[in-house]
Structure 1
Amino acid sequence: MLEPPDADRLYAALLARDPAFDGRAWVGVATTGIFCRLTCPARKPRPENCRWFADPRAAQQAGFRPCRRCDPLAGAADGTPDAAAGGQGLARRLMAMIRADPSRRWSEADLAGLGLDPSTVRRAFRRQFGQSFLQMARGERLRESLRTLSGDRDLIEAQLDAGFDSASGFRAAFARLFGHPPHLMRGPADLAADWIDTPLGGMIAIADDAALHLLEFTDRKALPEGLRRLSALCGGRIGLGRRAVTDQLETQLDAFFAGRQPRFSVPLRLHGTGFQRRVWQQLQTIPAGQTRSYAGLAAEIGQPSATRAVARANATNRLALVVPCHRVIGADGSLTGYAGGLWRKRRLIEAERAYAG
């Protein structure tokens, strides 16, 4: 599903100088023989004169020269394939290194030791993943700690395996994610929390034997608060591990991102007011590849004057993707706020066009 966007979408991004496309695509101008970043401040060409490229090397091989204003080869001075790919290859290579040793505690000095500029790496990761390399590395270490804690290992051993230098550092990172320290998540529990990898980043899934209660991207700022509220609703009985529902969800997420399954059938438990649940249930009726405005959604639930309340309910959704709040956009077609990050919302809407087709 997550294929490069079409020419119309790229041209719109060029006109808007959309920073989300910087490093994802380049434009060659047939009338000048120059290629640019999509964020270039130069005068915009007509659409029929644009040629689109996935990396600077392809543009050069097609006979285009780099623009002197936007410097599309910035960061490519070493001429490596990674740099020539605008940071995408660099990000993939470093992610492979993170996953090969998930407990490693990375620093900017480590990047410099590899002959890399930390600021270049930071920009490449933010373009590709919406967060920095060091944030991705910390998330991988925390995921490793989840795996360890779900067994019967001692907390100190789990801490060392996850690459944290001190118990306080480990507890602080864990508390930031879950809202309470790790020892409160051991032992019998009604709900089980686990990590699921997706092409858009790691997600935390919390389920019991009957339904999915929460699905959030791990870098969402409101995740700790959502976990605290869920913990309060179930008396604090959230543990680490998996349920059959989690396995079912992971299978459906894989099929969704592979373009095989536009809808989710995993059973859900919607924690909210009666109004919020009506909004969330209506969101689930929006087909993949389509969008709604907040006003349109309010009209669909029979309360056309409740646009703001619908927007608030949309923002408090705790079941990302399966309750597709990313399919709600502004009345003018603009991408409005999305707790998982506008870059994810943009990529999801672009990818779901394949389902509409």
Structure 2
Amino acid sequence: MITSKKKREEYYHALKEKDRSYDGIFYAGIKTTGIFCHPTCRARKPKFENCEFYPTAEEALLAGYRPCKICQPLSFPQAIPEEVQLLVNAVEEQPEKRWKEADFLAIGLNSATARRKFKEVYKMTFVQYARARRMGLAFKEIRRGSKVIEQQLEAGYESSSGFNDAFTKIMGNPAKKVVARQLNASFISTPIGRMLCLSDDDYLYLLEFENRRGLEREIEQLRLKYNFRIIYGQTAVNQLVEEQLGEYFQGVRTEFSLPLFYDGSPFQKEVWKILETIPCGKTLSYRDIALRLGDKNKVRAVGRANGSNKMAIVIPCHRVIGSDGNLTGYAGGIERKQYLLELEKRAALQKHE
């Protein structure tokens, strides 16, 4: 989300004036309607305080906004193909759904063709779109902390089932069953994207970029395994995470001191412990780690354990690279991995000057 007041004022002026030069530059989320638009939308303009601005459509979706039916922001500048509109409508009808090949056939679509056209129009895959919409609804609920029925109506659902399912399948039912423990969810802004933090008063359980591949499954597995309910809120651990991440991105912190909850198999925990020993500014290959574990044939197993890490940056899985030096295998995205490694090299050099 764009937080600079100067930028927000600039974008709001562009929105009011329907300035075509800003189309594709930002998307405007309208708090009062729960939709997002491109700058030239002909709908009635909201007040400044009711607008949020996002550089990408995916961020707007993750914030819980749905595409405006008037301006169809994701189809700019071309008309939206019928197959793509059919998929968008289907996601709105069942936001909790995880699509399989048979689901495309059920609505009369060829999966490969529909996916290709979706990517051409939206510049993101259909899987990314559907996931962002599901996660956005869940994130919206936990951020606001209000009753599901209120959020369901604002999101445009006539019945509670669609919205409620989208939320509860990820975060847990807020009312219908007794749970043993409660986790607090909060969001931390960083220069390379917002992160979701799950913690209680004792431990950090998860720290991931909100658009990470597989994030919702990580949340579900954690919740179901330990019978957690997840709500929005701050904890002392979360505040410590935010403080240390801020220092890290400023280049003044090269190590973290946080109470971590290691949720994994004995082998995964072994791998994660090795990751924590990699110095800031350095890297290891998957083969290096396998050799440290005493078996060069465990390279793939190391890769899987690396991908199962739930503590992005803090347990530095981004410091693991291919044997040929290539930056491979980072669920947060290769661009983020490169940014983090370059940041750490600079911080390590400054530390030793």
Task: State if a TM-score over 0.5 links the two structures.
Answer: yes
1:144 equivalent in alignment to 2:140: yes
User: What SS does the aligned partner of 2:222 have?
Assistant: helix
Alignment of 1:11-50 (within 5 A): none
**Is the contact between residue 141 and residue 148 of structure 2 (CA under 8 Å) also seen in structure 1?**
no
Deviation of 1:103 after TM superposition, in Å, equals 6.1
1:263 equivalent in alignment to 2:255: yes
Structure 2 equivalent of residue 174 of structure 1: 167
Alignment of 1:1-357 (within 5 A): 80=21, 90=26, 96-98=52-54, 104-107=65-68, 109-110=70-71, 142-149=138-145, 153-161=146-154, 166-175=159-168, 177-178=170-171, 180-183=172-175, 189-357=181-349
CA distance 1:191–1:143, change in 2 (3 Å): closer
Deviation of 1:214 after TM superposition, in Å, equals 1.4
**Is the contact between residue 275 and residue 316 of structure 2 (CA under 8 Å) also seen in structure 1?**
yes
Structure 1 distance, partners of 2:284, 2:249, is 21
Unaligned runs of 5+ in 1: 1-77
Letter in 1 for 2:190: T
CA distance 1:155–1:288, change in 2 (3 Å): same
**Is the contact between residue 135 and residue 216 of structure 2 (CA under 8 Å) also seen in structure 1?**
no
Tell me the percent identity: 37
Structure 1 distance, partners of 2:262, 2:289, is 18
**Is the contact between residue 198 and residue 205 of structure 2 (CA under 8 Å) also seen in structure 1?**
yes
| TM-score under structure 2 length normalisation | 0.61
Structure 2 distance, partners of 1:124, 1:97, is 21
Structure 1 distance, partners of 2:79, 2:283, is 38
**Is the contact between residue 196 and residue 205 of structure 1 (CA under 8 Å) also seen in structure 2?**
yes
| TM-score under structure 1 length normalisation | 0.60
164-173 or 309-318, which moves further after superposition? 164-173
How big is the alpha-carbon RMSD for the aligned residues of Structure 1 and Structure 2?
4.1
Structure 1 equivalent of residue 42 of structure 2: none
Q: How many residues align?
A: 267
